[in-house]
């Protein structure tokens, strides 16, 4: 009997140690506020909205920066209002650099990676608060992988938001990037 | 990872096989499942089945299956909107080893186990990994063949370099079916 208990204990202990001691890990919800409000307009000079993101402004990120293993959940949230234009979609692209200045940009950079979208919105006057579950499902794998890489790196990147309809003027109120950090020693 | 699980289950089976006689029962349980340092979910419920096999006076090997409906997360992020994220569902099957001390009418038992855990959440990749459980319980038998137990359990699902952890408090009942 004593041998059996030792065997069982040994198997469990070996399994734990073999996987690294991960007891102190945690999944931490954090968010980054996007400019409030910002608009996505289909003019030649302002075809997309450039949003530099520096996660070092987020307390939860700084608290766990040195022990980050990845992201276990991510979403882009906010209230989308179609100020003027037909029904269409909103998409977000990501580049791994911190591009300035913030605000309107003539186009999404050629090397940008689709991160999220398109999230649909109705014609002029439509207002939509994006659902958290739906938003989590709108991520493109390549863009999400790049986002995870940036979060585990310097935490600095730039989002470019744009519309899919021919003409668009969409206002985003209280927009934010919500992430669940996967942190462990 | 699956090799580790197989080895552990083999060890449990061998442990059972060395006993001279076994008493086999079936039981059900239910209770609370509380995520620990885990913002992906809120408190939810857990239900399941256990098959306690007493292989020696002090040792019970217990295959189990459990299903948890974890609570949704609600958050405003400081905005005027309230957002809700699916908390997900957790299922698990595996085996525990219970070390029972006391009399059949009243006993307490530390236990440890290993299992295959799966977590599914809307719009998220499914997590399917090995998990370990540790805990402590008390049991008593108000009438012959019927056992009742209350236990607290710590589950740790290994997800690569990190883990997702849950605390479970359950109440269960079991019935001794037969002895071999």
Give the position of tokens 């409000």: A37
| Mean pLDDT (chain B, rounded) | 90
Interchain CB distance below 8 Å, B164 and A174: no
Q: Find the CB nearest B158 among A8, A22, A77.
A: A22
Residue A106 per-residue DSSP state? S
Nearest Cα to Cα of residue B34 among B66, B70, B65: B70
Contact A121, A82 (CB under 8 A): yes
Q: What is the mean pLDDT of residues B5-22?
A: 53
The answer to whether residue B12 scores a pLDDT higher than 80 is no
- Closest CA of chain B from A74, distance in Å: 9
> Which of B12, B84, B99 is facing A132, going by the closest CB pair?
B84
ipTM over 0.90: no
Q: Which residues of B52-68 are buried (b: 16+ CB within 10 A; e: fewer)?
A: bbbbbeebbbbbbebbb
- Let me know: does A105 contact B91? Beta carbons within 8 Å: no
- Strand pairing partners for A162? A91
Is A25's Cβ below 8 Å from some Cβ in B?
Answer: yes
Model confidence at A9, pLDDT cuts 50, 70, 90, reads low
Q: Render pLDDT for A80-89 as a digit per residue (tens, 0 to 9).
A: 999 999 999 9
At B96-125, the pLDDT tens digits run 999 999 988 899 999 999 999 999 999 999
């Amino acid at each position: 009997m004593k041998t059996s208990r030792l065997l069982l204990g040994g198997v469990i202990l070996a399994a734990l140690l073999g996987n690294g001691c991960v007891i102190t890990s945690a999944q931490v919800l954090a968010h980054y506020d996007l400019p409030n409000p910002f608009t996505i307009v289909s003019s030649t000079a302002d075809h997309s909205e450039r949003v530099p993101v520096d996660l070092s402004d987020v307390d939860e990120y700084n608290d766990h920066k040195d022990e980050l293993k990845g992201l276990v959940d991510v979403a882009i949230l906010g209230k989308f209002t179609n100020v003027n234009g037909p029904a269409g979609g909103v998409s977000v692209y990501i580049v791994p650099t911190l591009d300035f200045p913030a605000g309107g940009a003539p186009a999404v950079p050629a090397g940008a990676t689709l991160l999220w979208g398109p999230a649909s919105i109705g014609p002029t006057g439509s207002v939509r608060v994006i659902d958290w579950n739906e938003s989590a499902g709108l991520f493109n794998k390549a863009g999400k992988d790049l986002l995870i890489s940036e979060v585990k790196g310097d935490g600095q990147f730039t989002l470019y938001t744009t519309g899919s309809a021919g003409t668009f003027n969409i206002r985003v109120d209280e927009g934010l990037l919500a992430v669940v950090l996967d942190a462990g020693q | 990872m699956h090799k580790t699980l197989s080895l552990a289950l083999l060890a449990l089976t061998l442990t059972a096989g060395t006993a001279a006689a076994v008493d086999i029962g079936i039981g059900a349980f239910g209770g609370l499942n509380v995520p620990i340092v885990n913002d992906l979910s809120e408190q939810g419920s857990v239900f399941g089945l256990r098959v306690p096999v007493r292989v020696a006076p002090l040792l019970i090997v217990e295959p189990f299956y459990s299903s948890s409906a974890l609570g949704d997360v609600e958050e405003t992020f400081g905005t005027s909107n309230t957002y809700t994220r699916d908390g997900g569902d957790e299922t698990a099957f595996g085996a525990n080893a219970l070390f029972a001390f006391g009399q059949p009418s009243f006993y307490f038992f530390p236990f440890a186990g290993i299992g295959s855990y799966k977590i599914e959440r809307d719009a998220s990749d499914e997590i399917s990994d090995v998990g370990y459980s540790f805990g402590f319980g008390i049991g008593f038998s108000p009438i012959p063949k019927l056992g009742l137990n209350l236990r607290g359990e710590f589950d740790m699902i290994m997800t690569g370099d990190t883990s997702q952890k849950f605390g479970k408090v359950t109440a269960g009942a079991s019935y001794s079916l037969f002895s071999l």
